Amino acid sequence: MARASARRRVTRLTVGGEPTARPDTLAGEEPLEIRLDGRPLAVTMRTPGADMDLALGFLLGEGIVGTSADVASMRYCVGTDGAGPTGALDAEGRPTYNVLDVALAPGVPPPDIDPTRNFFTSSSCGLCGKASIDAVRLRSRFRIDDDPLRLGPEIVTGLPDAMRRAQRLFATTGGLHAAALADAAGRILAVREDVGRHNAVDKVIGWALRDGQVPLRGRVLMVSGRASFELVQKALMAGLPMLAAVSAPSTLAVDLALEAGMTLAGFVRGQSMNVYAGDHRLLPPVPVPAPAG
């Protein structure tokens, strides 16, 4: 099985000092090809681990599935198929576990796979495989503007530290993004790490889908990087009413959050944050005046 981290030799340089050689632990990055009923759908650069959750989250974010029951099976492709090598063997003939085939359940319509689409998605971009601007905007199965989630600002500002404490790979490599799901009390339900921030989100949403928790009503998605349009859309497709990010949002991310009724917070650091949409979920309730007389 491909590893999530590996050791490499580095030369340590310090101004005015002598160079030293030492081993360093790096985050793993390898391609994962996702096939749908045997047909290539996408290739993403990811950190190996939780690949099936990654595939489930990706399929949900693309609007292909809505529940775990929409998937009949998932398996790694190892060896060769009728058309030749699957690409799942390394140069020495060992399985790489970098090709995953997903079989949809009977009755689930397959997507139209455009042969002109660029299937490659880098670790920094979750929309790089889209063939047109129209394909970027997807309609969610879930409504979130009526989600009753309410929580105090102190709950949100505590999430980055709680997420960091659960980042085991980051502690040894320093080179991974993270995504966490939390409830209204600030309890971390799941954390996933990856070299790609969109992959980390797919992994944690895929975990929730497999666990029967989608739509994720009353939950918060916390991410270690910026709040891009793609992450807001993934949260919306999973029915999440709130996305909080350590860094900044983009204009399109804010526009989509406002349109969908999502709470979007950025620069969640220390004891403060900027709330760009849906601040009613974080503000104290407005007292109702007592009736006269």
278, 257 in Cβ contact below 8 A? yes
Reference 97, options 55, 37, 41; nearest CA is 55
Please tell me the pTM assigned to this model. Answer: 0.84
What per-residue confidence (pLDDT) applies to 83? 43
Q: In the chain, how long is the greatest CA-to-CA distance?
A: 86
Tokens of 79: 């060896």
Contacts for 272-276: CB closer than 8 Å, 24+ residues apart: 272/157, 273/153, 273/156, 273/157, 273/244, 276/249
Place of tokens 């749908």: 36
Name 81's bridge partners: 84
Burial group, residue 43, by CB count within 10 angstroms (0-12, 13-18, 19+): buried
Tokens of 180: 């966490």
Tokens of 167: 């980042």
What's the alpha-carbon Rg for the chain, to the nearest Å?
A: 21
Q: How far is CA 174 from CA 25, 27, 123, 199, 233, in A?
A: 9, 8, 16, 17, 27
Tens digit of pLDDT at every position of the chain (293 positions): 457 877 788 888 889 888 899 887 887 888 999 999 999 999 999 999 999 999 999 999 999 999 999 999 999 987 654 444 455 556 566 667 899 999 999 999 988 776 544 444 554 555 554 444 454 467 889 999 999 999 999 999 999 999 999 887 766 666 688 999 999 999 999 999 998 999 999 999 999 999 999 999 999 999 998 999 999 999 999 999 999 999 999 999 999 999 999 999 999 999 999 999 999 999 876 565 667 75
What per-residue confidence (pLDDT) applies to 82? 43
CATH number for region 30-121: 3.10.20.10
Task: Tell me, yes or no, if 125 is annotated catalytic.
Answer: yes
Homologous superfamily in CATH for domain 153-281 = Cytidine Deaminase, domain 2 (3.40.140.10)
Reference 54, options 105, 109, 100, 112; nearest CA is 100
What per-residue confidence (pLDDT) applies to 43? 93
Which one from 26, 74, 125, 184 is the annotated catalytic residue? 125
Place of tokens 């502690």: 171
Return the domain boundaries, the chain.
Answer: 30-121, 153-281
What per-residue confidence (pLDDT) applies to 88? 56
For residue 126, give the 3-state DSSP assignment: coil
- The span from the CA of 62 to the CA of 227, in Å, is 18
What per-residue confidence (pLDDT) applies to 171? 65
What per-residue confidence (pLDDT) applies to 85? 43
118, 125 in Cβ contact below 8 A? no
For the chain, first and last CA: distance in Å? 74
Burial annotation 177-195 (CB, 10 A radius, 16+ → b, else e): bbbbbbebebebbbbbbbb
